Structure 1
């Protein structure tokens, strides 16, 4: 499933992201991985899509939210974790979050945060890591429960 977006200034130069998806109907699919670049979509969300003449499926909007969230964490290169995506994964091990690393040269980790996760504890951990110079982070997809935690 391809998502097209306007690249952000001072960020990665991409204008699309391909996410795994399982077709549910002629024009809907369930997202099956974590988005590194596309905002507003999380694992297990259902999206509507169109198919172009080449057979490529393009997302056109979210139909149903799963309640899951996406946080993206980038270790500070000269911080205690260095340029290690593995160290970021280890730093979040207590929360048992699934996630993927972008690349060795850009060790951003995109975490899938389940709807029943302890959002408040994860947010405290994110902020603590920022304050200690371990990482920067952003929320790629948040729910009302996330923002209100």
Structure 2
């Protein structure tokens, strides 16, 4: 897994990759750009391409065990895949901090206490064995139009 946190226009993420209870790498990219859409994904690395393909409309024949954040056309969304209904998307209000992945609870608690997204991922690294390596950040330019 991993920890990906968002707060105040900044998304932060670690770069640890695990397989079961083993660390595979501390230099795995968790950000992928496809067709000008940014994907920050957590979960099974082998399913990332299937989730990205599903985002663009390709049905997935098998369960997809990953989810994450997408930045598309200035919107921040959470995405995942349900076995029966396929891809799901939920636009997030950029004014609200959020976190996903195995260290999400630690990151959210840190942000509740005033930590930045970057510091929240660092806090998760102290307690979550699936979060580690370096913390990377990206400043986002987002827009949010609430639905009635």
Same structural fold, with TM-score higher than 0.5 when normalized by the shorter chain: no
TM-score normalised according to structure 1 size: 0.26
Larger radius of gyration: 1
Using CA pairs below 8 Å that are at least 6 residues apart, which structure has the higher relative contact order?
A: 2
Higher strand proportion: 2
